[in-house]
Amino acid sequence: MVRSEEQAKLIRDQRYEEISHAALKIFARKGFAGTKISDITSSVQLSHGLFYHYFKTKEDTYVSLIMNVLDLFAEAVEDAANIEGTPYDQLRWLTELTFSGAADVALDRHMLLIEAIHADFLSDDTKQVIKQRYYESLEAIANIISLGQQQAIFKQGDAMELASFYMSMSQGLVLWNAKGLYPINVSTDMVLDPLCE
């Protein structure tokens, strides 16, 4: 009996991930207003009714996806900060992680966050939580940069501003390559060199 409960949970978790993956792509491409629950359910061959065993509402699905993206970002930055080595090594690891995944998934996550921060359909409290959680991860990157400044690895200046520059460079390259116009073969040094002394 215990085994079947564990198997049922595993199947449910896998199905949740499958639905979340599909929903992320559809919300990113169509936006919140343009997405229907039926778009998500048909893409994963799930009945409309069964969808509500996983999520309460369309907005609940959307917010859950955003919080998951923010969790993944926070975990990645925390993992980077715990890498042995210099602050440069830590940001190198984070940069390599950023560019190791599928460009379309990174683009979908980015598009979702952009829409959410400016969305009229989300409460101000929810938008504030999203901004605060993103800001906390940015602060953690700034802490790595600050340590690098103390070790004369990174340029002097406002660490939050440099962290913002680092994120802008990383996201900008991901977004550019997702366009497929003239793909750039991104190297870690290309992203980190502007930060270095």
Instruction: Give yes or no: residues 43 and 73 share one domain.
Output: no
**Distance between CA atoms of residues 196 and 26, nearest Å:** 39
What is the extent of the structural domain holding 30? 1-55
Instruction: Give yes or no: residues 147 and 74 share one domain.
Output: yes
Query: Three-state DSSP class for 154?
Result: strand
Instruction: Give yes or no: residues 31 and 105 share one domain.
Output: no
Predicted TM-score of the model (pTM) = 0.87
**Distance between CA atoms of residues 117 and 123, nearest Å:** 10
In the structure, what pLDDT confidence band is assigned to residue 1 with cuts at 50, 70 and 90?
very low
Count of C-beta atoms within a 10 Å radius of residue 76:
16
Average pLDDT over the chain reads: 90
Instruction: Give yes or no: residues 62 and 137 share one domain.
Output: yes
Task: Please tell me the total count of domains within the chain.
Answer: 2
Instruction: Give yes or no: residues 110 and 176 share one domain.
Output: yes
Residue 196 pLDDT more than 60? yes
Instruction: Give yes or no: residues 46 and 132 share one domain.
Output: no
**Distance between CA atoms of residues 174 and 188, nearest Å:** 13
**Distance between CA atoms of residues 105 and 24, nearest Å:** 9
The pLDDT tens digits of the residues spanning 83-121 come to 999 999 999 999 998 888 777 788 888 888 888 888 888
Instruction: Report which residue type is found at 126.
Output: T
Residue 137 pLDDT more than 70? yes
Instruction: Give yes or no: residues 187 and 132 share one domain.
Output: yes
Q: Which tokens hold the place of 173?
A: 């390259």
Q: Lowest mean pLDDT: which of 44-48, 63-67, 176-180?
A: 176-180
CA distances from 146 to 74, 83, 97, 140, 172 (A): 18, 16, 21, 10, 23
The pLDDT tens digits of the residues spanning 4-47 come to 778 877 878 888 999 999 999 999 999 999 999 999 999 999 88
